[in-house]
């Protein structure tokens, strides 16, 4: 069975500092990994994905994520956080023949 863990319910970071939102996963085959962001009263918005190839994936709004197969992780990063990045972030995993599985979400607060 597939699973996704986001070990932190809440991440606080000062504006201008780098941010990391953690994600680890478990699948039986090759993983396809995704990050989504949800702003208040909105649907989830796709940020980036890893399918194959370069382990460092760049996405929207300056976000990037690094796929680490040995650690089964796919952490979301941004070099310099903005107050407007404050939102709920979801990691998701899929593998062949399986449905999407979303993590529980991590609330990011960027403090001015």
Partner 1 sequence: DAGVIQSPRHEVTEMGQEVTLRCKPISGHDYLFWYRQTMMRGLELLIYFNNNVPIDDSGMPEDRFSAKMPNASFSTLKIQPSEPRDSAVYFCASSSWHGTEGSEQYFGPGTRLTVT
Looking at 22-99, list the stretches that DSSP marks H as alpha helix, in order from N- to C-terminal side.
none
By CB under 8 A, how many residues form the interface with partner 1? 21
7 half-sphere exposure, CB direction, 13 A CA radius: 9
Task: Note whether 44 binds partner 1 by CB under 8 A.
Answer: yes
Q: What are the beta bridge partners of residue 56?
A: 66
Kindly tell me which residue out of 1, 40, 43, 112 binds partner 1, with binding defined by CB under 8 A: 43
Q: Closest approach of Cβ 21 to partner 1, in Å?
A: 16
Q: Residue 24 CB, nearest distance to partner 1 (Å)?
A: 16
Give the CA angle between residues 109, 43, 89 to the nearest 5°.
35
Range in contact with partner 1 (rule: CB under 8 A) among 18-26, 33-41, 60-68, 70-78: 33-41
**Vertex 73, ends 90 and 79: CA angle to 5°?**
70
Could you list the residues that contact partner 1 (CB under 8 A)?
A: 32, 34, 36, 41-46, 49, 51, 90, 94-96, 99-100, 102-105
């Amino acid at each position: 069975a597939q699973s996704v863990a986001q070990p932190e319910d809440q991440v606080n970071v000062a504006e201008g500092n780098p941010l990391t939102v953690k994600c680890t996963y478990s699948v039986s085959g090759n993983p396809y990994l995704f990050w989504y962001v949800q702003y208040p009263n909105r649907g989830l918005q796709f940020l980036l994905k890893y399918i194959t190839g370069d382990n460092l994936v760049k996405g929207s709004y300056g976000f990037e994520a690094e796929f680490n197969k040995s650690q089964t992780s796919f952490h979301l990063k941004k070099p310099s956080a903005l107050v407007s990045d404050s939102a709920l972030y979801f990691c998701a995993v899929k593998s062949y023949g399986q449905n999407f599985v979303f993590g529980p979400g991590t609330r990011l607060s960027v403090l001015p």
